[in-house]
Amino acid sequence: MKKIFVTTCLVLASAMAFYAQQNPKEIDLQQEVKLGGVKQWIQVRGADSANPLLLFLHGGPGFPEMPFSYFDSKELEKHFIVVNWDQRGCGKSYFPDFPEETLTLEQILSDTKELVTLLKNNYSKDKIFLVGHSWGSILGIYTLANNPDDFYAYVGMGQVINSSEGELISYQYALSKAKEALDTVSVNQLKSIGSPPYEGYQSTSIQRNILGKYHGVFGGELTYPGIIGIINHSPDYTQKDKQNILPVFIQVSNQMWEQVTSVDLTGIKKIDVPIYFFLGKHGYSVPFELAECFMNKLKAPYKEIVWFQNSGHYPNLEEPEKYQDVLINKVLKNSLSH
């Protein structure tokens, strides 16, 4: 038995060495880095180290993208070096004694800049591509405004503009749909929590569940249980990582909710980077109307809204083929042609 085991290991090692020789430029790693003095985890994948870098800023706060990457990034990895980062305090970057007082917008923006610099240096890139989803889109816009020279282009998905106004629109949409459906249980639930702002994420969670019931979160067949199903099939997270996602997300969101809901980006009138918004036509957890209005007024070298007709808040998960195709054949190609 021992001889068979040793032989098997030798065969596997030989196969891996051969594969590495055939694909010397391929990158596939999970790596611990220190940002703002705190250990955090990134995942870096790409078919060719010569390809441009693309950093994904996940939503939440506290809801990582890494366990979804096998589902929405396989084609991207052929054209980009795709980097997923579990921000401080969540996903693989969670640990029990994590200092919650460091969960601030300012600190995570600082972490973002530090990571961008680290990636550029490690992979010898002058600029990178940036994708920000939901909470990550707040980080994205502020990062662009402060450091435009670091980026080829930016994609804002489920783009937050004015958090308090967006939450009010979202609440009113859910209430109107529940009334139209004569859904007295949901109407009473919404009236019991009242209109936002809320102190924590608990009342928002009640509102989001009702919003999802009336297709204000997802545009098609995807549901909250469906998202959990995608997570559960992830090859990149351990079972413990997967089990931690939701309780840690709630913990981080409650800690940061007042900061999140006080964000107002409407004062930003100009960004010196090509900018794209990927907006789902059914997106009312972060209402698309505010992003559309912001884009219409924004001055940028290039700007475009790409509509996802069958999506809500998660175009990358609801229409993953289109999401990847537009990034490759529009965002990347437009940047290379200039």
- The first and second tokens of residue 219, run together, are 């545009």
Residue 90 lies in a domain: yes
Would you tell me the crossing angle of helices 163-180 and 288-297 to the nearest 10 degrees? 140
Q: Give the distance, in angstroms, between the CA of residue 23 and the centroid of all CA atoms in the same chain.
A: 29
| In contact, 76 and 51? CB cutoff 8 Å | no
Residue 19 lies in a domain: no
Residue 21 lies in a domain: no
Residue 17 lies in a domain: no
Count structural domains, the chain.
1
Q: CATH number for the domain including 157?
A: 3.40.50.1820
Instruction: Supply the pLDDT for residue 29.
Output: 95
For the chain, 338 residues long, give each residue's pLDDT as a single digit of tens. Answer: 444 433 434 444 444 444 444 456 899 999 999 999 999 999 999 999 999 999 999 999 999 999 999 999 999 999 999 999 999 999 999 998 888 899 999 999 999 999 999 999 999 999 999 999 999 999 999 999 999 999 999 999 999 999 999 999 999 999 999 999 999 999 999 999 999 988 878 899 999 999 999 999 999 889 889 999 999 999 999 999 999 999 999 999 999 998 999 999 999 999 999 999 999 999 999 999 999 999 999 999 999 999 999 999 999 999 999 999 999 999 999 987 76
**Alpha carbons 28 and 40: distance in angstroms, whole number:** 17
Whole-Å CA distances, 39 to 33, 95, 107, 115, 181:
6, 10, 14, 12, 48
Residue 22 lies in a domain: no
Instruction: Supply the pLDDT for residue 96.
Output: 86
DSSP 216-259: SS-SSS--HHHHHHHHHT-SSS-HHHHHHHHHHHHHHHHHHHHH
- The first and second tokens of residue 223, run together, are 């549901």
Residue 3 lies in a domain: no
Residue 15 lies in a domain: no
Residue 53 lies in a domain: yes
**Alpha carbons 169 and 321: distance in angstroms, whole number:** 30
Instruction: Supply the pLDDT for residue 286.
Output: 95
| In contact, 152 and 52? CB cutoff 8 Å | yes
Task: Kindly report whether the global pTM for this prediction surpasses the value 0.85.
Answer: yes
**Alpha carbons 321 and 318: distance in angstroms, whole number:** 9
Domain range for 276: 28-337
- The first and second tokens of residue 309, run together, are 């007709």
**Alpha carbons 52 and 44: distance in angstroms, whole number:** 12
